[in-house]
Amino acid sequence: MIKVDISNVWGRLSLPDLLAVESEVAAAHKSLTDGTGEGNDFLGWVNLPTAEETAEMRRIRAAAQRIREDSDVFVVIGIGGSYLGPRAAIELMQGCNHNIGKGKGDPQIYFAGNTLSTRAFNELQRLLEGKDFSVAVISKSGTTTEPAIAFRSLRWMLERKYGTDAARKRIYAITDPCKGALRQMATEEGWETFVIPPAAGGRYSVLTPVGLLPMAVAGIDICKVMSGANQAKETYNSLRSFENPAWLYAGARNMLYRNGKAMEIFVSFEPGFRMFGGWWQQLFGESEGKDGKGIFPVAAEFTADLHSLGQMIQQGERNIFETMVRFDAPEQKVTVGSDYKNLDGLNYLAGKTLDYVDEQAFQGTVAAHVEGGVPVITMDMGALNDEKLGEMFYFLELCCGISAYMLGVNPFNQPGVEFYKRNMFKLLGKPGYED
């Protein structure tokens, strides 16, 4: 089980404070599992994980195997909830530099359609030169501008390279089962499709084909991911007390918010966790930031960001709390060497493992930040493996649903995202947006 430790928030928060919100946490959790809260038509993710492999998962694994065999590069097109989950999973499990040295048999994976940057598109074109590639286009609505533009170009590139018929076999569409332009195009063109369940909103869709196809192409065992998620579903939904780490996290962050801590920094000491932090940031930001409320979510990586955000965290405005995510140390150790001249003065660490140094950095940082008035929640994930990945995704989705209901907002809509789109469409002259 994931462990949440709130011993470093006492002082800002007392046990009676926390116990006072127990009934609120219980009610929020019950609303999610009974489907009685606002946005209850988007609760498809709650019971999504299953112990058995589904037919859809078998089809995903078969498609992934084909892509692994016939492609040097797999391009995943999508934005927001249709992109952050798979990228988070792949970078966490395989590192930020996972593409180095890869090709047919174990393809490189790039993400597109999450920007309107010409430079980024030109770079992708250069990366694809002379390579066999396949494309997954992910869009629940099927109408989002950024992925639609990227897909149009990549589809043309595929058709020019392979001809229309062969190109069709290299396009995989992940979208709504019935609605939207992408569903219609896929039906007309005969692309292989996978379904995003209508009742699972974008940012709660990582455990659907949205996340599972790219993960499977990367060689992650999606049966293990789903098994971990299913275990999480059973465990974290059956414990209805503060023994449940989801309750502790949701309860503590809401209490801190009510005590003026309006910003949460979600930190890990793993560089590969950066995109997972991005996924968390979208999950919590888009779910909670509405009706003039919400904890502002910021993802950070220590110790790197201690040299950029560290000063602000230590001595800036005192409206911050941190959640520090930890994993068990990997089995393969790295040891600091000894140098006979010792000009860098590091011999006092000779023979110590990098994990040991990292651990002291962690402990030192927590102590410093707590002393500086920043409450720190720690989230101990345990060993990092495919099952754990599924457990973490489900656990944080559950925490987010509970926390947003405690905050009194609908976690499953995102009306604010439409504002920039309306202005952009008007400026672009999209029909229907003239006024």
Instruction: Say if CB 379 and CB 325 are below 8 A apart.
Output: yes
If the CB atoms of residues 81 and 277 are measured against ligand PA5, the closer one turns out to be: 81
Phi, psi of 104 (to 5 degrees): -55, 140
Among 3, 421, 426, 430, the one annotated catalytic: 421
How many residues bind ligand PA5, per CB under 6 A? 14
The answer to whether residue 39 forms part of the interface with ligand PA5 (CB under 6 A) is no
| Least distance (Å) between residue 144 CB and ligand PA5 | 3
Residue 415 vs residues 11, 146, 260, 358: alpha-carbon distances, Å: 37, 18, 25, 41
Question: Binding ligand PA5 by CB under 6 A: which of 82, 208, 268, 323?
Answer: 82
30 in active site: no
If the CB atoms of residues 170 and 203 are measured against ligand PA5, the closer one turns out to be: 203
Instruction: Say if CB 192 and CB 172 are below 8 A apart.
Output: yes
Q: Please, is 353 exposed, middle or buried when counting C-beta atoms within 10 Å of its C-beta (0-12, 13-18, 19+)?
A: middle
Instruction: Say if CB 142 and CB 177 are below 8 A apart.
Output: no
- Rounded CA gap, 346 and 271, in Å? 23
Tally the residues of the chain.
435
307 in active site: yes
| Least distance (Å) between residue 36 CB and ligand PA5 | 22
The answer to whether residue 140 forms part of the interface with ligand PA5 (CB under 6 A) is yes
Question: Binding ligand PA5 by CB under 6 A: which of 134, 139, 281, 365?
Answer: 139
- Rounded CA gap, 432 and 435, in Å? 8
The answer to whether residue 81 forms part of the interface with ligand PA5 (CB under 6 A) is yes
Question: Binding ligand PA5 by CB under 6 A: which of 99, 141, 303, 319?
Answer: 141
Residue nearest to ligand PA5 (CB): 202
Question: Which of the stretches 162-170, 195-203, 246-254, 314-322 binds ligand PA5 when contact is defined by CB under 6 A?
Answer: 195-203
Question: Which of the stretches 10-18, 57-65, 80-88, 303-311 binds ligand PA5 when contact is defined by CB under 6 A?
Answer: 80-88
Q: Say what angle helices 245-258 and 22-34 make with each other, to 10 degrees.
A: 120
| Least distance (Å) between residue 199 CB and ligand PA5 | 13
104 in active site: no
The answer to whether residue 404 forms part of the interface with ligand PA5 (CB under 6 A) is no
DSSP secondary structure letter of residue 60: H
Residue with tokens 């929640």: 377
If the CB atoms of residues 78 and 245 are measured against ligand PA5, the closer one turns out to be: 78
Question: Binding ligand PA5 by CB under 6 A: which of 202, 245, 251, 375?
Answer: 202
| Least distance (Å) between residue 210 CB and ligand PA5 | 8
Question: Which of the stretches 134-142, 221-229, 316-324, 372-380 binds ligand PA5 when contact is defined by CB under 6 A?
Answer: 134-142
Written as one string, the DSSP assignment of 230-272 is HHHHHHHHH--STTSHHHHHHHHHHHHHHTT--EEEEEES-GG
Instruction: Say if CB 89 and CB 109 are below 8 A apart.
Output: no
Among the residues of 145-217, which ranges form H helices?
Answer: 145-162, 164-168, 181-189, 209-217
The answer to whether residue 144 forms part of the interface with ligand PA5 (CB under 6 A) is yes
* Lookup: tokens for 287: 């779910």
The answer to whether residue 286 forms part of the interface with ligand PA5 (CB under 6 A) is yes
SS3 assignment, position 432: coil
The answer to whether residue 183 forms part of the interface with ligand PA5 (CB under 6 A) is no
- Rounded CA gap, 140 and 199, in Å? 11
- Rounded CA gap, 260 and 265, in Å? 14
Q: Please, is 224 exposed, middle or buried when counting C-beta atoms within 10 Å of its C-beta (0-12, 13-18, 19+)?
A: middle
| Least distance (Å) between residue 420 CB and ligand PA5 | 11
Question: Which of the stretches 69-77, 137-145, 158-166, 214-222 binds ligand PA5 when contact is defined by CB under 6 A?
Answer: 137-145
The answer to whether residue 297 forms part of the interface with ligand PA5 (CB under 6 A) is no
If the CB atoms of residues 81 and 251 are measured against ligand PA5, the closer one turns out to be: 81
Question: Which of the stretches 58-66, 89-97, 138-146, 390-398 binds ligand PA5 when contact is defined by CB under 6 A?
Answer: 138-146
The answer to whether residue 294 forms part of the interface with ligand PA5 (CB under 6 A) is no
- Rounded CA gap, 111 and 116, in Å? 13
Binding letters toward ligand PA5, positions 216-235, x by CB under 6 A: --------------------
If the CB atoms of residues 81 and 272 are measured against ligand PA5, the closer one turns out to be: 81
| Least distance (Å) between residue 419 CB and ligand PA5 | 13
Residue 165 vs residues 29, 161, 170, 218: alpha-carbon distances, Å: 49, 11, 9, 26
Instruction: Say if CB 334 and CB 354 are below 8 A apart.
Output: yes
Question: Which of the stretches 201-209, 257-265, 365-373, 398-406 binds ligand PA5 when contact is defined by CB under 6 A?
Answer: 201-209
Q: Which residues are catalytic?
A: 286, 307, 421
Using CB under 6 A, list all residues that contact ligand PA5: 79-82, 139-141, 144, 147, 201-203, 286, 414
